[in-house]
Structure 1
Amino acid sequence: MGIQQLGVGIIGAGIMGRSHAASLAMDPRTRLVGVAGLPLDSAQELVKGTHAYATDDFTRLLADPRISFVTVATPDNLHFDICRQALAAGKHVFVEKPLTTSLAEADQLIEEVERCGLTLMTSFNHRWIPSYAEAWKRIQAGNIGAPIMAYARKNDRIFVPTSMLSWASNTTCAWFLSSHDIDLVNWFFGETPVSVFATASSGVLTTQGIDTLDAVQAQVRYPSGGFATFESCWIYPDTFPTMTDSFIEVVGTDGVIQLPRVDDQVHLATRDSFSYPRTSIGSDVHGQQLGAVTAALHHMTSCVLGGHDPLISLRSSRDVIATLEAVHRSIASGNPEKVYQ
């Protein structure tokens, strides 16, 4: 008996769309059928050497009966409408984080998933980074006692909002960066945040015509009395040796876990620069795409084929969105805000 193959469509042919394509190519249970991207040539480039087709209209993928699920790798603010239409077309959905940028929109999608019985998973792929998975296992085993305090930062070079993303004005560094960290710390604590107090700074990017915040810090409290600080910014100078400076610490009643990720155990010095090439999210290993994105997508395939619930629950995705909405309400009001009003 041959391997059951799922036809897959990719919506969004940028950095993460390319990562999805490379990851799917590693799984004999999936077959890339089509890629939708704007401009069209981005999709055409992605399907070179495959039997897949390229289109600039994602609804063509949704109408294709050969496609069982779609991956969504578009700007944050476009996730909701694409996911809604995909579910209505009977497709399972794997969507880049965050699920949506609105709790009301997330609730609409969750209601539709519960109605139609399809699988929808947000790509909080950091849960598949080995060091983070090991940290969760150690916390679950009680190695550091009960978690009481956490600090998580994810700060980008200014290259990201000024050059890498054409849509930085449609999001913030907190939505773009802290969503991963909030998901991880919620997972480590095993709780849903109850309140947030946040502050922010702006001015560097607005002077360059990019209407978004420069930096955010938010203190989040949990029902047990524990708390966490989430820091995000994307105005590091481009001389910083990594695109992202990432660090997480969890302090417990009996110990501490630190997760520095400024390097992925690779230090590269050339005549012109010193850098830390990133490998944990995705890397080519002897011609094969490996890393956290690949692992998350393969998990999604297993869930669709096996009919079981994904590791990233809809409730956990919803909690991240509710927390980030509270972060931005707190920035606007200058006061602490409840996560769920």
Structure 2
Amino acid sequence: MSTSSRLGVGVIGAGIMGTGHAAAAAQNPRADLVAVASVPIASARTLAERHGADHTDDYRVLLARPDIDLVTIATPDHLHRQICADAARAGKHFIVEKPLTTSLDEADELIAVVRESGVKAMTSFNHRWIPSYANAFDQITAGRVGTPVMAYARKNDRIYVPTEMLSWAAETTPAWFLSSHDIDLVCWYMGGVPLEVVATGVKNKLVGMGIDTYDAVQAQIRFDGGRVATVESCWIYPNSYPTMTDSFIEIVGTDGVIHLDRKAEQVEVASDGAFEWPRMAIMPTIHGKQRGAMADAIDHIIDCVLDDGEPLVTLESSRQVTAVLDALHASLASGTWEKLR
């Protein structure tokens, strides 16, 4: 950790999320964006030059720099564990895109490394910083809807995502890629302990296109106290759908209900070619600056490092999401209820 009042930041990954991480770090008044690492190096170079930073195609070079205190990790889902562990061993605080890992064993190994290193670490479950989602948590905590007893969450994407946006869709599933955010939120809202999961998945369209992964997954999660949540993920919506993601959450309590529908985020645009609802919650550009939930999550971990605070998203809660998804995928294979490990 540098002794200056500003934090040196490195970004690992230069895709859509890494680009957002870099913009958020570069504009934070308490941080300096020092370097970007990515393969291929051309992506790192382009992003780094935009912000006057250095670049490399080897993240280990970035981790060896003494002027970097915090790294943001925005690599494909299945590549998180090794990079996060290397960052912790190098003494670098980190924030990693969701999910923490795609294996519960890897999550436990990584958490042990982080605890031994003493660094601050957080998964970027940035939906907790979306104003309406944060307000829903406050409403639930205040008892406005009584005790949560049931939840439903869906996050469904256009087919563009697994066929064009991601080159590694076959290395993941819509549940890992999409439901991780919703599972984090549902666990946050329900405030209980998930015990077991049963899931059903469909493989059809994407397999026929040469991408061996699920088209859609639905799962039911049983919590302690008899509470239940259903999560749904699908990424074969037609590209004509007006938003990239169809996202909805419902929380039913003993005394009320909360609906969170993100289909429309205040802006509607009609043109000759389409009717669209631009997404504004996660990473909008406002007056030339990166804002939204992603930037707020990056700002939060920077403040935690500089002020010795505790991250809102704990490693234990991130492990819980991975544990649910681990049981969910075990259920896809077994066809039966699977208890969380």
| Counterpart position of 1:283 | 284
User: What residue in structure 2 maps to residue 323 of structure 1?
Assistant: 324
User: Deviation of residue 3 (structure 1)?
Assistant: 7.4
Amino acid aligned to 1:110: I
Offset at 1:252? 0.4
SS class of match (1:54)? strand
Determine what percentage of the aligned residue pairs are the same residue: 58
Tell me the TM-score normalised to structure 1 length: 0.98
Deviation at 1:51, TM superposition (A): 3.1
Q: Does structure 2 conserve the Cα–Cα contact (< 8 Å) formed by 1:3 and 1:28? A: no
Q: Which moved more, 1:90-99 or 1:45-54?
A: 45-54
Question: Judging changes above 3 Å, is the alpha-carbon distance between structure 1 residues 260 and 11 closer, same or farther for their aligned structure 2 residues?
Answer: same
Aligned counterparts, 1:109-258, within 5 A: 109-258=110-259
Distance, in Å, in 1 between the alignment partners of 2:63 and 2:50 is 23
Q: Which residue of 2 aligns with 1:293?
A: 294
Unaligned runs of 5+ in 2: none
**1:305 and 1:65 mapped to 2: Cα distance?**
16
2: CA distance between counterparts of 1:238 and 1:163?
11
C-alpha distance in 2 between matches for 1:160 and 1:101: 19
Distance 2:51 2:140 in 1: 43
Q: What SS does the aligned partner of 2:99 have?
A: coil
Contact 1:100 1:106 in 2 (8 A): yes
Residue 270 of structure 1 is matched in structure 2 by 271
The answer to whether residue 68 in structure 2 is matched with residue 67 in structure 1 is yes
Structure 2 counterpart of 1:161, which letter? P
Alpha-carbon separation, structure 2, partners of 1:131 and 1:319: 23
| 1:225 CA drift (Å) | 1.0
The answer to whether the 8 A contact 1:198-1:331 is kept is yes
Q: Which amino acid aligns with 1:210?
A: I
State the 1:22 CA deviation.
1.0
Q: Secondary structure at the match of 1:66?
A: coil
Letter in 2 for 1:22: A
Q: Taking structure 2 as the reference length, what is the TM-score of the superposition?
A: 0.98
Shift of residue 333 of structure 1?
A: 0.3
C-alpha offsets along residues 62-120 of structure 1, whole Å, 9 cap, x if unaligned?
11111001100000000001001111111001100000001111111111121121111
Tell me which amino acid in the other structure corresponds to 1:130. P
CA distance in 1, matches of 2:31, 2:150: 41
Q: Which runs of 5+ in 1 are unaligned?
A: none
Q: How many pairs align?
A: 339
Question: How far does residue 24 in structure 1 lie from its aligned partner after superposition?
Answer: 1.0
List structure 1 segments (4+ residues) > 6 angstroms apart after TM superposition: none
The whole-number CA distance in structure 2 between the counterparts of 1:49 and 1:69 is 20
Contact 2:12–2:75 at 8 Å: present in 1 too? Answer: yes
- In structure 1, the residue matched to 2:13 is 12
Q: Secondary structure at the match of 2:51?
A: coil
What amino acid does structure 1 have at the position aligned with 2:57?
D
Asked whether the equivalents of residues 26 and 51 of structure 2 are also in contact (C-alpha less than 8 Å), the reply is no
1:19–1:282 Cα contact (<8 Å) kept? yes
Contact 1:3 1:29 in 2 (8 A): no
2:107 aligned residue: 106
Partner of 2:59: 58
Task: Tell me how far apart the structure 2 counterparts of residues 269 and 51 of structure 1 sit (CA, whole Å).
Answer: 37
